[in-house]
Structure 1
Amino acid sequence: MQTGKLIVLTGPSGVGKGTLVRLLLARHPELYLSISATTRSPRPGEIDEKDYYFVSKEQFEQMIREKKLLEWAEYAGNYYGTPRQKVEEQLASGHSVVLEIEVVGARKIKETFPQALRIFILPPSVSELERRLKRRGKDSEDAIACRLEQAKEELAASHEFDRQIVNDDLETALAEIEAAIFT
């Protein structure tokens, strides 16, 4: 049996990764979405083991020590990481796995899985990214300013990835992601 493909989607906060992943999975249910672990508290409506594995800082640090994560990073004061076991099981059974992760984690995946397809999602502009972050209504002005500073650093790293796709139009961006994955 052929092993599956590991597909990494990354980019700055607010660029539309989550929306693109939801659309991709709706069109391609054969893809497996890896669920990340995090130490942050659930947001309203988020469900443990569906949206994230919500764990304590102590549990997360134990996962790091026991090498149970493919990658992990600290972001905005919380840990985020990809549990290793389910991803490896899915790949071994021939399924392609999608990771929607932060840039730091996506860089680490290259060390663990150099054959992974790593796709960087770009905004049409920084001003459009700021507009999207404000429209979400999830963050304070200070948090948005921090996210934009982080985004500028992340955007400078986009050339490190296999593909760069601008999310200006959802359908166009989705078609480009599908072309990268399935051709």
Structure 2
Amino acid sequence: MKLYIKHMVGQKCKDKVNETLINLGMPYVCVDLGMIETPEDINLVQKNILKGKLQDLGFDLLDSKKHILIENIKSAVIQMVHQYGGQHKEKHSDYLSRNLGYDYTYMSNTFSQQKKMTLQQFIILQKVEKIKELLLYDELNLAEIAVKLNYSSVAHLSNQFKKNTGFSPSDYKKMNLKRKENLENL
């Protein structure tokens, strides 16, 4: 049985859900972003207990098919941007359709109705977060980041970054280097 969970965004979330399942003595096959797979169906009492424990951690157990689809889309986008980076060269729409088994237009419309932002806006926001992360690591220059995240040019990356953060990538990097120096001087 697959159970879908809202608000799982990283390894720490997966670890907390793993720990919760162990503490409840609930057998499971795997825990992944936004999903738990159990070897067999769980009854309503078990489901309600699990739901309560997950809510205590800030997660929600999903019941609606649309909510499940939205969480699957969000998990796939996060995985596409943050884990794979630029390792895949296919269009976002092709990647999501192939991985989730739905027509991109249907997913995009459903996402927009539920989240009050377009799917493309969500992808851009995730890419901007990844750019911030890569700028702080200071291992790649802007041209390398643009290639890694499949931007057509450094100018396109810079424009998108500034539109979403209010800062150019170089200003953002300088600001955070100053902040880091100030924290080191405390």
- TM-score (normalised: structure 2): 0.29
Structure with the larger strand share = 1
Structure with the larger helix share = 2
- TM-score (normalised: structure 1): 0.29
